[in-house]
Every structure is written in structure tokens, then in C-alpha cells.
Amino acid sequence: MSSSIGRRRWCFVLLFVGALLVWIRDTSWRESILDALPLAVGIPLTIWIGGPWKLRDIRAEGRDFRWLKVAIGLGFVVGWLMPSITLLALSWSLAAVMFMHAHYETRINRWGVWMLLLLSFPWLVMEWPGLGWWFRMSAAWATEQFFALMQMPVSRHGTELVVLGEVIRIEPGCAGWNLLQLTLLTGLALGLHDIRAKQKFVIFVAIMPVLAWTANFLRIVSLTVLCLTYGVKTANGVWHGLTGLFVLLMTLVIAKLFANFLGDHSKKSIRKTKVT
């Protein structure tokens, strides 16, 4: 018993140190700290949603997955040397899920936990700008089609729109790219809290990016209308930030409704389910 407690404590220490190493390996996220730092809430969210945690007798575990442990360790080392925040976050989140499975009994979806922990580090915005470009490009194209449907003169050059002679530039902040990962993380937490069936959870995960994109498309349209009606200064002022918060809240409200629809109505939430 004492040896298992000691192993568990060392695992906690290693996971804590590993999480810190992921965050400090590349600190360029400090340039957008208000967008990146809230992602760290994913780890305590996982602990809360997964409760109650019942200790497992690790001696009863038949498989130790040594090859997977070696792969995770190598992945973390390679990610540190490259450096790659994506690989570091992937390795750490897999290690955390393995620790959870080996030491605790819980009915929470392990793949959902892995995705939630993976999104708790700022790898998406930092290392995948190509995805951000397509996110903005598709939103610009959809906005162009919307105003063309409204019989308004509009043209587009990449992510820049000209509507009624007014130039509208869709920057990463306007397209919601900086808030996308936080939106996915909080939405995923809602789904993980309410949905137990794996098939339904997969459906919910597939819906979230579409929902986030649609909400940000509506934000771009709203900002464009503000710009055309009251001028660029108004659209770039306080309304720019308020529309971003509104889109985030609207996305989470709709995600909560989807989670309730797909969830198990016989139980209020996973957290309230007792582990037998």
C-alpha cells in the first residue's frame, strides 16, 4: 500500500512538472496572454468533471503499456528539443490519461479527458497558423456571399473585403481565431460533463468547430454592418471586444443546449454519477 501511494505521489509531481515545462518551453504566448492563459483552466476542469475519483488497486491492472510509456517519453523529449508545443501537449495529455486509468476508477470518457487536457496548452494558435488562415479565408468567403446575396456591391481579395467601397480586413482577432481554442475547450468541457455515450460525444465534438465557425461568421457580418453604418472607428472600438465576448457566450449557450439534448436524461451529469 505504501509503495503504491509513493508511486502515485511521484506521478503527481512528474505531471505537474511536465505541465510547467510545456508552458515555459515557448513563451511567445505572452504576447496574447489574455487569450492563452485561460486555457490552463482545462486541467482543474478535468479534475472537477471527472469526480468522484475512486482509487484503483494498481496491482489488479494486468497491462502496464510499457511500449506506450516509452513512446510518450520519447515524444516529450523530441517535442522539447524541436521545440514543438503540440508534441509536448500531446505527450503530456496521454501520460495524464494513462495515470488516470491506472490509478483511478471513473466513468468519465477517457478520450474526452484526453482532448480536454490537450486543449489546455496554447499549441493551436502558436503552431498552426495555416489553420487560422483557412479559418479566416472561409469566413471572408462566406461574408462575401452573404453581402452579395443582399444585393450589395462586394469584392474580396484574400481575407480583405470591399463592401460599398469600405475596406474590411479580417484579422485573426476579428475571425475569432485567438479565441477558438478557448471556445473548443469550454464547449468540450460542457459536453464531457453532460454526455456519457461515446457515439453521442463524438457527434458533439464534430459539432463544436462548426458551431464556433458559424458564430464567428455572424460576428464578422455584425462588425461589417457596424463599420458601414457608424464607421471604422466604432467597429474597431469597444464593440470589437464586446462582439467577441458575445460570440463566445452564444457559442457556449448553444453548445450547452446540444449537450443537454445529447446527454443522458436519466442522470443530470457524469459528476453526480456514483462509481460502484
In a domain, 23, yes or no: yes
Summary mean pLDDT of the chain: 83
Structural domain ending residue among the three candidates 108, 138, 168: 108
Residue-wise pLDDT for 101-153, tens only, equals: 888 877 778 888 999 999 999 998 889 888 878 888 898 899 999 999 988 99
Structural domain ending residue among the three candidates 108, 137, 158: 108
Structural domain ending residue among the three candidates 108, 137, 162: 108
Rounded to the nearest 10°, the torsion over CA 23, 29, 35, 36 is: -10
Half-sphere exposure of 196 (CA within 13 A, CB side): 14
DSSP 62: -
Query: 103 and 197 share a domain?
Result: no
Residue-wise pLDDT for 219-264, tens only, equals: 888 888 888 887 777 667 667 677 777 877 888 899 999 999 988 6
Q: Is a pLDDT exceeding 70 seen at residue 266? A: no
In a domain, 116, yes or no: no
- Classify strands 166-169 and 154-157 as parallel, antiparallel or unpaired: unpaired
Query: 8 and 37 share a domain?
Result: yes
Query: Which structural domain range is residue 135 located in?
Result: 128-276
Query: 244 and 138 share a domain?
Result: yes
Residue-wise pLDDT for 168-221, tens only, equals: 888 766 655 667 888 889 889 999 888 888 889 999 999 998 988 888 888 888
